[in-house]
Amino acid sequence: MEFINGVKQKEDISVGQLLTGDYTGKSVKMRGTVHNVRDMGEVVFVILRKADGLVQCVYEENAAAGSDAGLSHEDTAGAPSVPAAGSLQLSDIKNLKEESAVEVTGRVTAEARAPYGYELRLSGIEILSEPDEVLPLAINKFKMHTSLEAKLALRPISLRNVRERAKFKIQEGIVRGFRDFLMSQGFTEVHTPKIVSRGAEGGSNVFKLDYFNKKAEMGQSPQFYKQTMVGVYDRVFEVAPVFRAEKHNTTRHLNEYVSLDFEMGYIDSFEEIMAMETGFLQYTMELLAKDYQKELNMLDVKLPDVSRIPAVRFDKAKELVAEKYNRKIRNPFDLEPEEELLIGRYFEEEYESDFVFVTHYPSKKRPFYAMDDPADARFTLSFDLLFRGLEVTTGGQRIHDYKEILKKMEKRGMDPADIESYLMIFKYGMPPHGGLGIGLERLTMRLLGEQNVREASLFPRDVTRLEP
């Protein structure tokens, strides 16, 4: 009987290993994609693209055979079967197709002009697979200088560009930060259903589907479920897709996005939720600085200062920007996108903060489950977080009392029978609680300084885009 025992170390090394190990003067194997071939006549440079970086490989006719001739077995690190020196031909290298998958063998040599200060003096190349056609897009340029439309149409390929993929590596870091920080704060991760019988927020912007002849919807938010789980684990979080059938085709909207949600019980005030989000941002910026510096540098990203985030009341924020920027308040109950931008600008100018919490949104603009401010029921104990003038989070304290939520539903003409299994949690007891939802792509977009949220989604879904 054959047995599988677990992961075996492979012979080839990563860029990380190359940089941290002691390989200078030794022959190594590396696997990757042929990113670029630069033919200089008798010298050919091959740039190998690996997940964790680019590696410069060089082949000089005659020189390669010479430099490998004296290679003793002791010099070989993790590469017992280096092809015989001289077996590699200049023509092999010159004929390499970009986007071929290869295994190269070469001696590690210090070279100040190469990425990371090392290059591989090639002694062997094995082609693992080859493309069928030449790329329709110069993905091996540092900046692609192409339109967003073109990039998105060729997304499966354009993501191979090192700057494009760096964006989503940083996005990985944000999600890691969210999970790791919340786990450290006693939160439990949950997975709740995305096919639901009714949306949490109601309204018309839901995708409907036929579920075995029953009417169903794609979840706009895990709202009801995460509140439910507060009754179980006190503090919970979820990272999952949400779906909004909004017909806006703007630079800020996606019809499917990743929502970073948390919900926490036993709170004394809704400020605790903002404090938890601030803690998440502090932790995450540190994590990015530690583990994603390469990508941050590549994209010229300067991490924002999140040591403290100002909080301003909704109506006060409106007044401040109306006054400073000489602007009329048209809609006292909601923030227009332009107003959000101005609030962002105000707090950047006055407090050097990229973030600002806007609190106490009007009750009529918040969902029925939002808790009204006991001091003034026209407002809620809720907030948005703006990042450089864009709403990236909505959160707040929720009603936890059964009679109170029934009363608010009645006022809004809602039928409790429609959401009976949600209301069950209040009927049988819920602690005071609240939480928030963060739009991952918006947060990424603002962090990267991108102007369109599609730049921060691997395969964006918008009104016209269902592919790739």
Q: Give me the least distance between CB of 309 and its own copies, in Å please.
A: 5
Q: Does 185 bind its own copies (CB under 8 A)?
A: yes
Q: Does 52 bind its own copies (CB under 8 A)?
A: yes
Q: Give me the least distance between CB of 239 and its own copies, in Å please.
A: 8
Q: Which residues touch 72 (CB under 8 Å, ≥6 apart)?
A: none
The residues with which 32 forms a beta bridge, in sequence order, are 102
Query: How do 188-189 and 101-110 pair as beta strands?
Result: unpaired
Binding mask 323-352 for its own copies (x = CB under 8 A): ----------------------------x-
Q: Does 401 bind its own copies (CB under 8 A)?
A: yes
* Burial status of residue 41 (CB atoms within 10 A of its CB: 0-12, 13-18, 19 or more): exposed
> Which string of b and e fits 350-379 if b means at least 16 CB within 10 Å?
eeebbbbbbbbbbbeebbbbbbbbeeeeeb
N- to C-terminal Cα distance for the chain? 43
Q: Does 436 bind its own copies (CB under 8 A)?
A: no
Measured distance CA(31)–CA(50) in Å, rounded: 7
**Residue of 115, 117, 156, 203 that binds its own copies (CB under 8 A):** 156
- Comparing CB distances to its own copies, the nearer of 171 and 221 is 171
Residue 136's CB is within 10 A of a number of other CB atoms, namely 11
H/E segment holding residue 238: strand 235-243
Q: Are 314 and 360 in contact (CB under 8 A)?
A: yes
The residues with which 380 forms a beta bridge, in sequence order, are 372
Q: Does 442 bind its own copies (CB under 8 A)?
A: no
**Range 192-231, binding its own copies (CB under 8 A):** 192-197, 207-212, 214, 216, 218, 225, 228-229, 231
Q: Give me the least distance between CB of 350 and its own copies, in Å please.
A: 8
Q: Does 417 bind its own copies (CB under 8 A)?
A: no
Q: Does 232 bind its own copies (CB under 8 A)?
A: yes
Q: Is 210 helix (H, G, I), strand (E, B) or coil?
A: strand
Q: Does 3 bind its own copies (CB under 8 A)?
A: yes
Q: Does 375 bind its own copies (CB under 8 A)?
A: no
**Residue of 58, 276, 371, 386 that binds its own copies (CB under 8 A):** 276
Q: Give me the least distance between CB of 87 and its own copies, in Å please.
A: 21
Q: Does 33 bind its own copies (CB under 8 A)?
A: yes
- Comparing CB distances to its own copies, the nearer of 205 and 251 is 205
Binding mask 280-319 for its own copies (x = CB under 8 A): --x------------------------xxxxxx-------
Q: Give me the least distance between CB of 107 and its own copies, in Å please.
A: 21
- Comparing CB distances to its own copies, the nearer of 71 and 162 is 162
Q: Are 278 and 306 in contact (CB under 8 A)?
A: yes
**Range 116-145, binding its own copies (CB under 8 A):** 128-133, 135-136
Q: Give me the least distance between CB of 331 and its own copies, in Å please.
A: 24
Total of residues contacting its own copies (CB under 8 A): 123
**Residue of 285, 371, 409, 425 that binds its own copies (CB under 8 A):** 425
Length of the chain: 468
The DSSP 8-state label assigned to residue 56 in this structure reads E
Q: Does 150 bind its own copies (CB under 8 A)?
A: no
Tokens representing 153 are 């149409």
H/E segment holding residue 293: helix 293-298
Q: Does 47 bind its own copies (CB under 8 A)?
A: no
Q: Are 347 and 339 in contact (CB under 8 A)?
A: no
Greatest extent of the chain over all pairs of C-alpha atoms, in Å: 87
